[in-house]
Every structure is written in C-alpha cells, then in structure tokens.
C-alpha cells in the first residue's frame, strides 16, 4: 500500500473543457496510476540507479505483470495552480526569446490530495516457472518501484514535488544524493496557491515556485554567456542549456527535483496591521492596502519573518550521463541557488524587498567551488567579498557548463544587448546599511528605510516635502498631456517608465485626473499583448552580523523589444499619445544618490 505525501497530478495533457485533465478509470471514475507509467518508472529507476542494460531490463520484467494502482479509500480532489512567466519561450522551445514584458498566466488544474492511499498490485504471469528466479525478480522490481515512487514520484510535475508516495510496507531505500537547504525568512513572503492571496496550507513554500526562481536566475546569468548571433539563435542556445538542467515538457525530463516538507507559520488575509511604516506600505503596494474604516490592511497571507524553512533537491540522472555532465549540472544548480538567495526573493513584491530568504545551512554533497559561498556574514566587507566572489564563481561555472553543452564557439563573455531582457551583464549594485536595523524588527527598519528613499526619489510630493527638490521631468510631460498641450509633447518621454510598467500618474491639480503609461508593440506585431515590463531594479534584504542590510541590484537591458514605444493615455483611453522609450539615466541617478548616502 502507498500513501500520497504530496499532491498528485495525472493526465494534465488530457483534453478537457478546462484545458488540463486528470486520469481516471473509465468504469469507476476514480483517479488511477496507470500500469504503463508504473512499469516505465520502475524500469527507468533500474536503468539509472542500478545501471542495468535494456536487455537485462527485458529479462527482468519478463512474465511480471503490473496492474493499475487504485485508491483504497475515496480520494479527495483539490485545485492547484501553476503560473509560467515565459509561456511563449517554453512553448516554442526557445524559438521565441524570454522577455521581461511577458505576462504571468495562471493555469489551474485538479490534483489528488495528500493522504490518499493507493494499492499497488503485481504478480507473476500464470504458468511461469518460479524456479527461474521469478520471485526474486518480482521482489527486486517491487523494491525499485517503491523507491522510485518515494523519491521521484508519479504522474506529472514530479520535478516540482508532485506525486510522491510513501510505501507503508517499508520497502525502498535512502537517496545518497539528497541535498537539504535551510533558509531563514528575512522579510514576509507573500506566496499563494490556487487562491493567490492565501498561503497554500499543504505547500507554504511551493516547490514549483522554488524551481521557477532557480530557472529565472539561471537565465539571468546564462543569457550573458551565450555568444553572438541573432535573436532566434541566442534564444535557442539559452533554451538548450536550460533544458539540460530543468528539462522541458516536449523534451528530456528534468535532472533536478525539488521538494518542500516545511510547514512554516503564516498569518491571515485581510488583517488590519495598524500604522504601517510609509516606506513598507509604498514598496508593498498590492499585499498592503488602505481600506476606509480599517486603516492599513494586509490583503494577502504571508509567511512570517524570523522562521527557518527547508526544501530538498535531488538529482535524477539520465541514462548515459557522464561524470563531467553531472558535475556541470551540480555547479549550475548551486550557482542558481546562490544567485537567487543572494540577489533575489520569492513571491509577490520580491523585487521590492519582500520574500527575502537567506541560506543558513546546506546538507549533502556540495561542489567544492560553492562550499564556502553560503552561510553567515560578519560585516559589510564580508558581504562585498561574498557578492563579488559568488558572481565570479557563477560566471565561471555557467561558462564552463555552456562550453560543454554548446561548444566553445557559442560561448562569450562579451556584453551583448538583449531583446527586452535584463541580465547580470554589467549589473550594478549598491549596499545600503541602516544603522537602526537591529534586533527583532530589524527587517522592518531596513525595508522602511529603503522604501522611503525610493519614495522620496520618485514621488513629486515627497521630493518637495523632504528633499526640497523639483519634480522629475516627466511630471510636466504628463501634466501637459492632461491639459491637452500636445505641442509640448514632441520628443518627450517618461523616464520613470524605466523602473517598470505599467505606470500611473494622478494629478489633484488637474481635476483629479489619472494618466497611465503602457508599452506598445512594434508596427509589425501590433496584435500581441504587451501589458507590463518587469522592473530591472531589485531590493534584497540580507542579514549581516546583528543587523539587516539592503542590496540594491540593477540589471541593465533594453526596456522594451526593438521598435516598441510607450503609450501615454487617459484612464479610459479617450486620448492617447505615443512617446519614445527612455534610457536608464533615471535609475543610475537613483543608485548614485543611494551611494552618496
């Protein structure tokens, strides 16, 4: 008997009105584990883990019958969601590039909930002579299948932790290459499940989300190392290297599996939080909202800061993988882990300081090159050294791996402007210490400090009130537009769009009117959507000694694809003007101001 430890996704590709399916028995309507899938899983485990040949596998499975696994008890079904951020890139297998203008597209699907028990049935075909070792072969296959179901899982999305079954009879074996990563929650993590505003009770730290951020930072680094070529060649090479580690739906299976057994504490949605510091409220727009009569309200659930949470990684090698391939994959995985936990975050508003996590411990086989790149930091100099050494090591690891995968001709360390994609080439970072950011609420003081600095730089009202500075140039551009002074808009742009799109302006002085700034695709591609542009600026909060410091990272790159423009319009779209795309001068001025302080 097998008990489901994690959600089970079966038959997602089955055609249904919901576009995603669930494999069920035709007679009973119960979700089942198909016999063909179970046999293939056991065979693949033996090929990879015990290194048997295909001929040996044929002999081993001869006269052994594996039947569908049915639920013992009435199963519970639940709703889950996956949200790919680069859908066109994935579906085209790299023929279309990953862009920071792509919209996240949630896809909901049915799963079998954890706790459901399945009964696995195997027997020796009638008439088989048991003297030829059939009983021992049956036992060997049973043990292999039980172990594979526990460590690799069954069904779809196993690389993201789905389909893990625990064998209640005690078969199976331990995985010698499991890596356990312990993370300290530095700032609130706003991460949801099928309800985006509620933490997933089964998977508070969702393995699919962890894989997603690992893939994202993998691309941010690898994008700089792929050599010269047109957009399609660059994107195809990037996809090939990414598929080498994370797999693809139309190609090879992922070599990396992620699980998350942690059950951290989280708070409720729509919770009044009293007087939220202005800087935190500004950075947390969305999760934090002002509600009349209630004051500041935390609209979404969050995982509390100060907790330790864990997730596990396993490597699922493919038949024929050489040691050099395994070493390259390990280096890229740990490089992606380092980039994510030192430069980025997880969940909503992770580019504005929320969702900051810090590695406190790693157990398992860690490559020598990365063994000293995790753990506590004593002071700012140690942080600077860690960031510089980690980036150099990541570049070396990824470059070496790309050479092995694509060949030396496809790899280059020269900077190439990419097509609407921010990467780590020529990135710039500023460390902002906050003297008062110590003690239990250190994160609040540090996040409020960077939030106020950011707000006072961008907001016209705060520039006047706190810094005695004039409004930014685009304040007058938008005001002229609302006042219908169209002649003044010639050759104008909206520099603040460089911080990310869409962007809204509200003017009390112009009859409380609102203007919005969006992106417009090139003339030849006006049918496609272009609703957003991810910010190239990332705030990361890092524990250093007894305080919390903020790392502000700028990843340069073209704001929009070639030929795209900005559209300035009234809120209803009654009037519109197309403007030129701004450069990144305003971001560099902000970083310069931070450096002076």
**Distance separating alpha carbons of residues 418 and 561, to the nearest angstrom:** 9
**Distance separating alpha carbons of residues 14 and 234, to the nearest angstrom:** 33
- Does the pLDDT at position 396 exceed 90? yes
Domain ranges of the chain: 1-76+113-158, 178-265+303-415, 267-300, 432-596
Angle at 297 between CA 283 and CA 265, to 5 degrees: 85
Question: What mean pLDDT is predicted for residues 442-458?
Answer: 96
**Distance separating alpha carbons of residues 418 and 233, to the nearest angstrom:** 12
582: buried, middle or exposed (CB in 10 Å: 19+, 13-18, 0-12)?
buried
**Distance separating alpha carbons of residues 550 and 280, to the nearest angstrom:** 13
- Are the C-beta atoms of 157 and 81 separated by less than 8 Å? no
pLDDT of the residue at 406: 86
- Nearest one of 40, 36, 69 to 57, comparing CA atoms: 40
- Are the C-beta atoms of 105 and 84 separated by less than 8 Å? yes
- Does the pLDDT at position 318 exceed 80? yes
Question: What mean pLDDT is predicted for residues 564-570?
Answer: 91
Which pTM does this prediction carry? 0.92
- Does the pLDDT at position 509 exceed 80? yes
* Mean pLDDT over each residue of the chain, to the nearest integer: 88
Question: What mean pLDDT is predicted for residues 474-495?
Answer: 89
| CA distance to 462, 464, 471, 497, per residue, from 459 (Å) | 5, 9, 8, 13
pLDDT band at 212 (very low <50, low <70, confident <90, very high): very high
- Does the pLDDT at position 415 exceed 60? no
Return the higher-pLDDT residue of 524 and 583: 583
> What is the token pair recorded at 91?
């579906």
- Are the C-beta atoms of 496 and 457 separated by less than 8 Å? no
**Distance separating alpha carbons of residues 238 and 242, to the nearest angstrom:** 6
The shares of helix, strand and coil residues in the chain, as percent rounded to the nearest 5, are 35, 25, 45
**Distance separating alpha carbons of residues 118 and 459, to the nearest angstrom:** 58
pLDDT of the residue at 172: 46
């Amino acid at each position: 008997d097998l008990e489901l430890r994690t959600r089970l996704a079966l038959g997602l590709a089955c055609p249904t009105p919901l576009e995603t399916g669930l494999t069920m028995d035709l007679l009973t309507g119960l979700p089942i584990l198909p016999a063909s899938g179970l046999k293939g899983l056991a065979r693949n485990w033996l090929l990879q883990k015990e290194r048997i040949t295909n001929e040996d596998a044929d002999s081993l499975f001869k006269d052994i019958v594996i039947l569908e696994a049915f639920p013992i008890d009435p199963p519970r079904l639940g709703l889950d969601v996956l949200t790919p951020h680069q859908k066109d890139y994935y579906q085209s297998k790299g023929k279309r590039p990953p862009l920071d203008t792509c919209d996240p597209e949630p896809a909901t699907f049915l799963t079998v909930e954890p706790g459901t028990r399945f009964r696995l049935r195997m027997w020796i075909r009638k008439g088989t002579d048991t003297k030829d070792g059939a009983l021992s072969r049956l036992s060997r296959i049973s043990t292999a299948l039980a172990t594979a179901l526990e460590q690799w899982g069954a069904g779809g999305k196993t690389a993201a932790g789905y389909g893990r079954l625990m064998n209640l009879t005690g078969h199976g074996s331990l995985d010698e290459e499991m890596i356990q990563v312990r993370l300290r929650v530095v700032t609130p993590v706003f991460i949801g499940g099928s309800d985006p505003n509620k933490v997933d009770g089964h998977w508070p730290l969702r393995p699919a989300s962890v894989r997603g951020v690992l893939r994202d930072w993998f691309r941010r680094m690898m994008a700089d190392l792929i050599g010269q070529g047109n957009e399609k060649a660059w994107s195809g090479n990037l996809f090939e290297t990414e598929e080498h580690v994370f797999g693809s739906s139309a190609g090879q299976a992922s070599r990396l599996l992620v699980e998350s057994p942690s059950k951290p504490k989280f708070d409720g949605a729509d919770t009044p939080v009293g007087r939220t510091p202005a800087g935190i409220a500004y950075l947390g727009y969305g999760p934090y909202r002002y509600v009349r009569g209630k004051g500041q309200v935390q609209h979404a659930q969050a995982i509390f800061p100060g907790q330790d949470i864990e997730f596990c990684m396993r490597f699922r090698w493919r038949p024929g993988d050489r040691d050099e391939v395994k070493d390259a994959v390990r280096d890229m995985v740990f490089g992606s882990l380092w980039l994510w936990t030192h430069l980025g975050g997880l969940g909503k508003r992770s580019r504005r300081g929320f969702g900051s996590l810090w590695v406190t411990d790693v157990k398992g086989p860690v490559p020598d090159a990365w063994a000293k790149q995790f753990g506590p930091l004593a002071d700012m100099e140690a942080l600077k050294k860690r960031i510089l050494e980690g980036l150099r090591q990541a570049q070396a690891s990824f470059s070496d791996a790309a050479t092995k995968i694509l060949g030396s001709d496809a790899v280059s360390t020269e900077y190439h402007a990419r097509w609407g994609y921010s990467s780590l080439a020529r990135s710039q970072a500023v460390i902002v210490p906050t003297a008062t950011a110590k003690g239990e609420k250190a994160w609040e003081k540090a996040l409020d400090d960077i939030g106020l600095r950011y707000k006072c730089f961008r907001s016209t009202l705060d520039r006047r009130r706190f810094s005695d500075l004039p409004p930014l140039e685009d304040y007058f551009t938008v005001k002229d537009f609302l006042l219908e002074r169209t002649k003044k808009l010639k050759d104008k742009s909206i520099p603040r769009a460089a911080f990310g799109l869409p962007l809204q302006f509200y003017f009390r002085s112009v009859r409380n009117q609102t203007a919005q700034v969006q992106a417009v695709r090139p003339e030849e591609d006006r049918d496609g959507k272009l609703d957003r542009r991810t910010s190239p600026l990332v705030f990361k909060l890092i524990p250093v000694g007894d305080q919390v410091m903020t790392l502000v990272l700028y990843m340069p790159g073209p704001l929009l694809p070639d030929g795209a423009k900005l559209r300035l319009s009234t809120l209803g779209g009654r009037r519109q003007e197309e403007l030129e795309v701004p450069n990144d001068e305003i971001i560099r001025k902000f970083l310069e101001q931070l450096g002076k302080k």
